[in-house]
Structure 1
């Protein structure tokens, strides 16, 4: 009888693991960013971007490593993409959204948009964020470094100057916060990058709030959801099937019995 219970427990755990694996969130890597950088036609710019991606550490002697790899870094602490791997997701999505916007504008308005600048700006606009973050002991949460130094935008603009990037790339990165930043975009490419960044950040932020609410509903840490789903996938399920169905699915996946009021 005891052997049967053990075997049943093993089978149940196997089924739960398989269920979770089925929903496993795809984790992107540096190679995904480099693959996108390879689409830059200008050889010199392409090489500069790839070198920056491979070696993002600031060249200033007083900037210390936070030991947060680019591939693990969140894109924020309390807002959009605030989970491990969030920065690389946001970087890829922002760059690809910018290119799609450029395609539409070129087709409708007969424009000639500099996609090399868009790709370079998209891939590098948040690259200094890991140098503002520190990971907790458990490796589950992030916070700002204790002695907070230059913000990520100041750091990246300084580094782009140091590495002799074209002024067009420096300007689109420096202005990617749009009307809320220290400078507004002064080109179509600049505005495209700003709105691509905004679209991805705002959508993810809305989805994060839904994840937080459903995690609270079923009594789990929201990080458990991010390990299996992107927040936008949760948002999609919520939109198509409703809140209660989403809660049921999450309860089943995380093996939560009963409902929490």
Structure 2
């Protein structure tokens, strides 16, 4: 998720999406080896009972859409020219483990971190020491694969198994389109490696923060330094893993741009909070200016490109919200779900399967262009 951006010259986030969406979609099809859109969206039909027995990981593995997006991410990250950076990024994508938790393996260490964050007003003291970090069983292994995680909280954008992969793939494509536009319009190139790396990493801890629950929903996210915790935790992870300051700062700018004092101040605070978690000095690490009040000067343009690229949520969030009522009607009428079931595990697994195989975005498009009857026909192609 990002914050509001509408500069005085009229480049709003909505306008950005209108410009980039068509090119990004065409680029996606072009980069899927030997696959047409019909093949990407094709899914094996399951019965409702079978659907209820599929785990989120099962759903993501079965989805051609999700696997194609994940393949694009790993492929484009493989194009990073700097070998050390390429290896670092791919290690995260293949295993987004919270390695900085090496520093917080005891209850005393966690309490000390919590006290630091509370003292800096980054965490509310109403959030207890046992709740400010997501649960984790193994700090060397991700709670779930990158490709199985949702794109955000359960009522937000791409809230389905594999949503993180589709969200990240779209954002990388959008960022690369902006990168290309700067070259074609102004005859200069930004650092492509940074553009790819920062966008690929921008939601790296969503697999940790949004772990799937037994009822088909995901864990609820706390607020950390004024943002959803995944953002600051992801920055902390990149700092701890030793990513270059240029990549970390661009990653931090995904949720806001440094174009005004007020906006930049938010990014500075996210970096400071993340540095506390990573136990690093942000000035010494080159993440902030010498006095710690701004980002490094001069501010790199890749920071703005990462921010512009992370605007998929503007449409994809409402797409989930606006499609759900129709999907509930279909579940009630065609699959005889009771009102109680529509608000529990049965419907959650139903919607997770539909969205993971077809996406909430495409479901909403069908709803807009073909009505609820058209969406019902698509659902019937997926679930008996």
Q: TM-score range by the shorter chain?
A: 0.7 to 0.9
1:246 — aligned with what?
374
- The whole-number CA distance in structure 2 between the counterparts of 1:83 and 1:209 is 13
Q: Residues 215-234 of structure 1: matches in 2 within 5 Å?
A: 215-219=327-331, 221=347, 222-234=351-363
Relative to 1, partners in 2 of residues 1:25 and 1:44: Cα closer, same or farther, differing over 3 Å? closer
1:245 offset after TM fit, Å?
4.4
CA contact (8 A) 1:204 1:232 kept: yes
1:95 offset after TM fit, Å?
0.8
Query: Which of residues 149, 155, 163 is equivalent to 2:233?
Result: 155
- The whole-number CA distance in structure 2 between the counterparts of 1:226 and 1:248 is 13
Query: What is the aligned residue count?
Result: 235
Relative to 1, partners in 2 of residues 1:210 and 1:145: Cα closer, same or farther, differing over 3 Å? closer
Relative to 1, partners in 2 of residues 1:90 and 1:255: Cα closer, same or farther, differing over 3 Å? closer
Query: Which of residues 303, 310, 317 is equivalent to 1:205?
Result: 317
1:47 — aligned with what?
87
1:96 — aligned with what?
173
Q: Structure 1, unaligned stretches of length 5 or more?
A: 1-15, 257-261
Relative to 1, partners in 2 of residues 1:124 and 1:218: Cα closer, same or farther, differing over 3 Å? same
CA contact (8 A) 1:27 1:85 kept: yes
CA contact (8 A) 1:134 1:145 kept: no
Q: Please state whether the residue corresponding to 2:66 is helix, strand or coil.
A: coil
Q: Structure 2, unaligned stretches of length 5 or more?
A: 1-43, 49-62, 105-132, 138-142, 258-262, 269-294, 333-346
CA contact (8 A) 1:177 1:194 kept: yes
1:5 — aligned with what?
none
Structure-1-length-normalised TM-score? 0.77
1:167 — aligned with what?
245
- The whole-number CA distance in structure 1 between the counterparts of 2:315 and 2:64 is 17
* Larger RCO: 1 or 2 (CA < 8 Å, sep 6+): 2
1:86 offset after TM fit, Å?
0.7
Q: Judge which range, 222-231 or 148-157, deviates more.
A: 148-157
Q: Please state whether the residue corresponding to 1:183 is helix, strand or coil.
A: helix
Q: Residues 57-68 of structure 1: matches in 2 within 5 Å?
A: 57-59=97-99, 60-61=101-102, 62=104, 64-65=135-136, 67-68=143-144
- The whole-number CA distance in structure 2 between the counterparts of 1:100 and 1:51 is 25
Relative to 1, partners in 2 of residues 1:231 and 1:142: Cα closer, same or farther, differing over 3 Å? same
Q: Deviations over 1:101-140 (max 9, x none)?
A: 21122101212111110100011110011221232225x2
- The whole-number CA distance in structure 2 between the counterparts of 1:251 and 1:50 is 35
